[in-house]
Structure 1
Amino acid sequence: MPVAHLVVVMPAYNEAEGIGGFIDEIREHLAPVAERISFVVADDQSTDGTPAALDGIDDVHVERQPANRGHGPTALAAYRAGMTLDPDVLVHVDGDGQFIGPDFPRLVSALVRENADVVHGVRDGRTDPWFRKALTASVGTLIAVAAGRRIPDVNTPLRAYRPQAINRLLDAVPADALVPHVHFSLAEARLGLTVRYLRVLSIPRRGESETGTMWGGTPRPSLPPQRLRRFARAALGEVWSWSLKPGAPLRSIPTAPAQR
């Protein structure tokens, strides 16, 4: 049976070029598996008119953030805003459009068919530079050790959740987390949630420029730019403090399975 109310949430920063077409593509492909679809875009103080690009679209709710805080806090704000719409299933995806429409119904169908709490879209064909892939792999190794199992693509932004599961995760993670999906991946294991993994296609960022804000709009560097190096240091420190070190808050969360 189709999902009664499916909510798609996405953080966005300067995505005016591609976000409207991305939402149209998602809506078209999700229509057969949902009776009603709503979109929530948490705009992180874009300077290119991203909110204006979505004006007048009835099923798109734009939540303008009070300050530019970066991807992690904006993603969490998107989740929380989406939950206020009382979804039966919630899907998260970044606003840069690095996924294709046909993979969205596959994600939702896997959640329903497998009676899972969460389904991760594991990225195939990532076009990110080597140092971003290396960072994801390094963090994934640390999380695998802590979780006691390998978690493919630990920081993937494409995920489908049942509301009971995402509520528990949101309660466990600080609202200003830099890498909430890394924390989510570990917390899901510790909480005993039923997690499934689905291979999905990763494509370049939509719009005229394929470079995201981490690259400052310049051509892709061969070495990590300073901004990304600073972010990586802060993110690794956060993961250690919140999820990995003895006594870390996310080491002490209860491990009972989620109630549906």
Structure 2
Amino acid sequence: MADQQSSRAELGKVLVVIPTYNERENLGPIVKRLNEALPSVHALVVDDGSPDGTGQLADEMAAADERVHVLHRTEKAGLGAAYIAGFGWALEHGYDVVVEMDADGSHAPEDLPRLLDALSDADLVLGSRYVPGGKVVNWPKRREVLSRGGNIYSKLALGAKVNDITGGFRAYRHEVLEKIRLDNVASQGYCFQIDLAWRTIEAGFEVVEVPITFVERQVGVSKMSGNIVREALWRVTKWGVRRRLEQLGLRRR
């Protein structure tokens, strides 16, 4: 245990970016669990102008706890844009490790220490539902089939040796976010997760997976939509075709 704590300390400053839109009921409990699991870690709430008062609650939490920070955005511009804004804030404020985590409780903060431990030998650690030890709890069968199918298709199209490239619980070293081009990321939803993981792999960084337990949210409404699925299918197909053309020497990198 002491060795693990020492290894985490060597990682430097860790920031967990938590995008929110109408997550007032979930935000307090998830940050409390994060603080209990890893007291030294900071959290950045990126709120997209939630009409339910999530942003106001985040401000109150930040005023009471120096480990909590808030970035207000004026409109709901999508998950990808929220994370890009959060990553930029993290780099500007000198954080060494940046973590993605949902506010709805589907990602267990108690799993984060294992992700950070794995980062000692990697540049990006993916919390994976689809490796031995990983699992999904209380998810509708349709969603699980869609998720597994999306991951299999992405793996085949991109040739990426990753089992859960769509997952949103992950930890980046700051060097990754500085090198991959964030200024031209246009993907949203879980396609954003595929996009950044694929950019990381293409840039030559070490990517590993750690098993996690993903739990369906108990409060609030999922942001998943048909448009998100269609976007992912289109973009992954396009990236896969580009990769194949490069392999055949018909397109330059």
Q: TM-score, normalised by structure 2?
A: 0.80
Q: TM-score of the superposition, structure 1-length normalised?
A: 0.78
- Whole-Å Cα distance in 2 between the matches of residues 126 and 81 of structure 1? 33
Give me the whole-angstrom Cα distance separating, in 2, the residues matched to 1:75 and 1:130: 28
1:142 and 2:153 equivalent?
yes
Secondary structure, aligned partner of 1:177 = coil
* Aligned CA distance change for structure 1 residues 188 and 213 (closer, same or farther; 3 Å): closer
Q: CA RMSD for the aligned pairs?
A: 2.6
Could you tell me how far apart the structure 2 residues matched to 1:41 and 1:253 are? Answer: 40
Count matched residues.
230
The one-letter code sitting in structure 2 at the alignment partner of 1:174 is N
* Amino acid across the alignment from 1:128: W
Gaps of 5+ in 1: 215-227, 255-260
Aligned-pair CA distance for 1:74: 1.6
Percent identity, please: 25
Unmatched runs of 5 consecutive residues or more in structure 2:
1-5, 130-134
Counterpart of 2:139 in structure 1 is: 128
Alignment match, 1:200: 212
Which residue of 2 is the match for residue 81 of structure 1? 89
Tell me the residue number matched to 2:162. 151
Please report how far the alpha carbon of residue 25 of structure 1 lies from its aligned counterpart in structure 2 after TM superposition: 0.9
Q: Kindly provide the CA deviation profile for residues 76-105 of structure 1, in whole angstroms up to 9, marking residues without a partner as x.
A: 222222222211211111121212232111
Q: Distance in 2 between matches of 1:103 and 1:66?
A: 32
Q: Is the 8 A contact 1:5 1:89 kept in 2?
A: yes
Task: Give the match for residue 231 of structure 1.
Answer: 228
Contact 1:92–1:160 (CA under 8 A) maintained in structure 2:
yes
Asked whether the equivalents of residues 155 and 163 of structure 2 are also in contact (C-alpha less than 8 Å), the reply is no
- Tell me which protein shows more helix as a share of its residues: 2
In 1, Cα distance between equivalents of 2:52 and 2:90 = 24
CA deviations on 1:124-164 (whole Å, 9 max, x unpaired) are 12433233323322332232124424311111111011100
Match of 1:213 in 2: 223
* 1:21-79 residue CA offsets vs partner (Å, 9 max, x unmatched): 10111122113xxxx43211111221111112222232222111132112222222222
> Given the superposition, is the C-alpha separation of residues 175 and 187 from structure 1 closer, same or farther in structure 2, using an over 3 Å criterion?
closer
